[in-house]
Structure 1
């Protein structure tokens, strides 16, 4: 990938998050080979590639779950260090994995506040974990998070997560990521195994993330979903960049060919 598109007058805004020259090895396996990647605020960047292309590895490097062996991180043009998940979270980088990591025995409000529950005032003499939870404040904050993403199918933030549909659970997991004061939200196959109606709910939430000026990284194998919500598409193959395409200027067939065959030797595609 080149950064020519970042010059003045470009149709693409400057990247919010950019990584350059990312290498990751697992013993003898060279999973990422000098990968460059970027995403701007108010943009949905699809990250695609065949199985084993390096998508999940790159996503985990961005989230701090894996440490890159080589490479640089940049946030709004300033070089930053991501040495673990806490560093990524402090920089506003959040990830929603396929398993969602929701507690099905808790309600929506409790899931959205998990680990950061508001406590009632006047109990400062006790350790935080012993202070009573402010249930009203927790409910209000949860409702604001749901309203922000316009999740209209959820009737109550007091509904148990175990009774929600797959689409609603995805929306809750995304709302939790957004509630962590994030600026970058990465979604790993968010519509996998969902029906048509539930997929529509999730895609609407993804659009809303873009509208709220988040930088969205969208990993998927579903070309229909990608072409519906993504602004650009970044393709990896065998752990290296193939290129980046503007969705409006390409076709699903072109993307599939690039994923499976790559480009001619020495070529890359930048958008």
Structure 2
């Protein structure tokens, strides 16, 4: 009896079912359970990164905050997918005879792309700021990244063979991003010091490798309709776990001895007497001194 009282069934698919929006191929409770498990990992990682940031001065928390934001957004997205929300049904281009992918309509989670639209630029910021890349380059790479995500989403929502045109555009954008990480950003990081170069090499190589697997996942899921939505959940979930919380842990560990000011990220705090603040106070003091001296001189003339 006690066991029945504490038992909790996953009713997300039953509660969040929409008769007007049906898909022949959709996640089961197994896929939903997996999405909720990934949600838990992302949430724990978010609190861990925030907790680690509290051990640092405010000026040195930038990478903690960026990384925590990545897992926070991902946790919301995975909770949405686990709840069987944030999806639409799209006609498949390739109908399969395999029972797990048999049907005319497939469940496409557009919320996954909303997650990537927010988190992948943050991931790139983590890497490119570590490499101390110039801001114009960072902004341009982020734009290319957004093109990659948007073309992936549009392709996933297209049921004709034209979806592969968007796939090609996305792969071209991905190729350019990987090239920048592997060549230009890596060289830039090495110039900043061995510890910076080592951290970038570890995290950048992980990201470049994992990101090249996402087009494969897209091809067998939204694109080619080869594997079931439950298998899709596992494939994307493992990639996201490695690309976000594992990546974040490695990045923050690598930054433990790196002062952000070395990377051109000197952040001023209101209670800090650094060179810039002292220079500003000195400038204000000189201005006051000149003003007072002039006033005194006027009074002296008046006295004479």
TM-score relative to the length of structure 1: 0.25
Choose 1 or 2 for highest CA Rg. Answer: 2
TM-score relative to the length of structure 2: 0.23
